[in-house]
Amino acid sequence: MLEALQYEFIQNAIIAGVLISIAAGIIGSLVIVNRITFLAGGIAHSSYGGIGIAIYLGIPILFGATIFSVIVAIIIAMITLKDKKRIDSIIGIMWATGMAIGIVFVDLTPGYNVDLMSYLFGSIIAVPTSDIWYMLGLDVVIIALVTFFYREFLAISYDSEFAHLRGINIKFFYTLLLVLSALTVVAAIKVVGLILVIALISIPTYLAEIFSNTLSKMMFLSAIFASFFTLSGLSISYMYDISSGASIILTAVASLVVVKLFKR
Amino acid sequence: MNNIIEINNLSFFYAKSKVLENINLTILENDFLAIIGPNGGGKSTLLKLILGILKSKKGEIKSGFESNSIGYVPQNTNLNINFPITALEVVLMGHIGGKRPLFGYSKDEICCANSSLKQVGMEDFSNTKIGNLSGGQRQRVFIARALCANPKIILLDEPTASIDVLGQTEVYELLKELNKSISIVVVSHDISVLLNYAKNVAHVNKNLVYHTLDNVQKNVQNSNEHLCEVELLSALSNNHFPGCNHEH
């Protein structure tokens, strides 16, 4: 197995897996404690719209998806800040609309019939070096912002009413969180796929929460767990020649079941 | 005694329905004021107006200090108990919004948070996850958070709503201790418990009726035993001010 490490695509896959795990661990923890997993899922799926438009216009897919999903995140933030009660309907609507836009634009693209479904599980084995730079940049931005605004993020996540009372701009931080979630999702989309990023946001964080008494510890542990699942899933996928995305998710779920059985 | 908050002719509307009408209330230095009244009577709205979360177009609220030097303990501290946060971090939240260091928390802030925890008798639990504390302990941590702002007054919204009897007593004993230097305002249904601690009572049901409690306590024969709301209200009504407008 070790001989695999000499191939550049395997090296890229390992680097990409760790980089995306760091982003998913940090942002995923914030998403989980704010109970907006469904919202992150909505942004993830609606970013299909950006992929479709990018293919139609012939611009880089990562660029198109980034712009589109950031806009979606800001729209969702504005609507949900106004009317929190209907948050689930609104996410459902954005989710479906984004995917429909993506499909229509791919249909309209002459002579190019890409299967949008291939973005669901992605392919970690085929990560281009440009995506790695994008993820590295994203990790730096996320770590910088979350470290700098840690007390604010913690306060709005735990008790937003009190944070508001103390003069924290909760709308700004809520929007920032959604935009960072959108960027994380987009970084993962071509690499590991939509389904996997939702799994990476929810499974390691859920596990990390059990062992954490602080949010920062939860973020750190989530990133470690996510990296572990990604790398071991990747090895399994290489050994048995099965889909990397699915093996990563199943490794994570299996670990979750084992931990839940022994630690209640 | 000095007035620290003075409310004059305050009215408040949600959409078109009037929630509070012509409220006049003075909160004194070292006061222990209980705000009672039926659900939907406007108790929490009044609290939010004092805190500045809500703004009213009619009437005025005068206080001799910035609104962020009012300590506030919210109603539902039992929510979000799985959240990975230690007692110390909850107390440190009391510092946000003010001057901040570049990263994390400053030494002064941590020191102040620890002494607030000590003040409420929770110093041994500073690294405990908030969800692993009992209801009464958690409530004391939230009082410590309010203390961080060095407040002249602390407002508590239903502080004992979902904690056991022992926890309730602990919380009220703590408030009694703090009351030596800080004014306390408690919105509550636990009238019987409150009666042993409060100095004044404001009954809010759209209108506000104010009572000083030392007269009321005389009207209640056995204040040590549990006392139902009806008995208390009848005791209060014996204490009517002339021209006072009760709406029950």
Test B128 with A213 for CB contact under 8 angstroms.
yes
Q: How far apart are CA A226 and CA A235, in angstroms?
A: 14
* pLDDT > 70? residue A15: yes
CATH code of domain B1-65+152-248: 3.40.50.300
Q: Measure in Å the smallest separation between the Cα of A88 and chain B Cα atoms.
A: 20
Q: Measure in Å the smallest separation between the Cα of A120 and chain B Cα atoms.
A: 31
pLDDT digits (tens, 9 = 90+) for A56-106: 998 988 889 999 999 999 998 998 888 777 778 888 898 899 999 998 998
Confidence of residue A151 (pLDDT cuts 50, 70, 90): very high
Are A207 and A225 a contacting pair, CB within 8 Å?
yes
Numbered residues of chain B with Cβ closer than 8 Å to any chain A Cβ: 51-53, 68, 72, 74, 80, 82-86, 89-90, 92-93, 95-98, 100, 102-105, 127-129, 145
Return the exposure string of B40-76: e unless at least 16 CB atoms fall within 10 Å of the residue's CB, then b: ebbbbbbbbbbbeeeebeebebebeeeebebbbbbbe
pLDDT in the model for residue A20: 92
> Residue B27 belongs to what H/E stretch?
strand B17-28
pLDDT in the model for residue A100: 93
Burial class (CB in 10 A: 0-12, 13-18, 19+), A238: middle
Chain A, residues 155-194, CB within 8 A of chain B, namely: 155, 157-159, 161-168
* pLDDT > 50? residue A140: yes
Q: What percent of chain A has pLDDT over 70?
A: 96
Beta-carbon contacts of residue A112 (< 8 Å; ≥ 6 apart): A55, A106
pTM across the whole model: 0.85
Test B74 with A159 for CB contact under 8 angstroms.
yes
Q: How far apart are CA B32 and CA B29, in angstroms?
A: 9
Test B85 with A217 for CB contact under 8 angstroms.
no
Q: What percent of chain A has pLDDT over 90?
A: 48
Among chain B residues, CA nearest to A156: B93
Among chain A residues, CA nearest to B74: A162
A83 Cβ under 8 Å from any chain B Cβ? no
Phi, psi of B167 (to 5 degrees): -60, -40
Among chain B residues, CA nearest to A205: B84
pLDDT in the model for residue A114: 66
Rg (CA), chain A: 18
Beta-carbon contacts of residue A191 (< 8 Å; ≥ 6 apart): A16, A20, A122, A123, A124, A127, A131, A135
Among chain A residues, CA nearest to B131: A213
Q: Which segments of chain B belong to CATH 3.40.50.300?
A: 1-65+152-248
Q: In the numeric block, which tokens belong to residue A43?
A: 């942004």
Place of tokens 């992605």: A122
Q: Contacts of residue B95 in chain A, CB cutoff 8 Å? A: 151
Alpha helix segments (H runs only) across chain A: 8-33, 37-57, 61-82, 87-108, 118-121, 129-148, 150-158, 160-165, 170-189, 194-211, 215-240, 244-262
Q: How far apart are CA A139 and CA B122, in angstroms?
A: 38
Q: How far apart are CA A186 and CA A71, in angstroms?
A: 13
Interface test with A, best of B68, B80, B85, B132 (most A CBs within 10 A): B85
Pairing mode, if any, of strands B3-14 and B17-28? Answer: antiparallel
- What is the CA B20 to chain-centroid distance, rounded? 19
Instruction: Look at residues B212, B229, B220 and name the one whose alpha carbon lies nearest to residue B32.
Output: B212
Nearest to A165 among B72, B95, B102 (CB): B72
pLDDT in the model for residue A1: 64
Q: How far apart are CA A230 and CA A8, in angstroms?
A: 17
Mean pLDDT of A45-54: 90
Q: In the numeric block, which tokens belong to residue B66?
A: 């910035």
Q: Contacts of residue B96 in chain A, CB cutoff 8 Å? A: 151-152, 155, 163, 166, 168
Regions in chain B scoring below 70 on pLDDT: 1, 66-68, 77-78, 192-193, 214-248
Least confident of A92-106, A182-196, A242-256, B64-78: B64-78
Structural domains in chain A plus CATH codes: 2-255 (1.10.3470.10)
Q: How far apart are CA A20 and CA A164, in angstroms?
A: 32
Interchain CB contacts (distance < 8 Å): A and B: 72
Test B53 with A159 for CB contact under 8 angstroms.
no
Phi, psi of B27 (to 5 degrees): -105, 125
A264 Cβ under 8 Å from any chain B Cβ? no
Instruction: Look at residues A166, A226, A142 and name the one whose alpha carbon lies nearest to residue A218.
Output: A226
Nearest-5° Cα angle at B182, B181 to B183: 135
Q: Measure in Å the smallest separation between the Cα of A211 and chain B Cα atoms.
A: 9
Q: Contacts of residue B128 in chain A, CB cutoff 8 Å? A: 213
Q: Contacts of residue A155 in chain B, CB cutoff 8 Å? A: 93, 96
Instruction: Look at residues B220, B223, B202 and name the one whose alpha carbon lies nearest to residue B211.
Output: B202
Nearest to A33 among B51, B72, B83 (CB): B83
CB atoms within 10 A of CB A95: 21
pLDDT top residue among B248 and A189 = A189
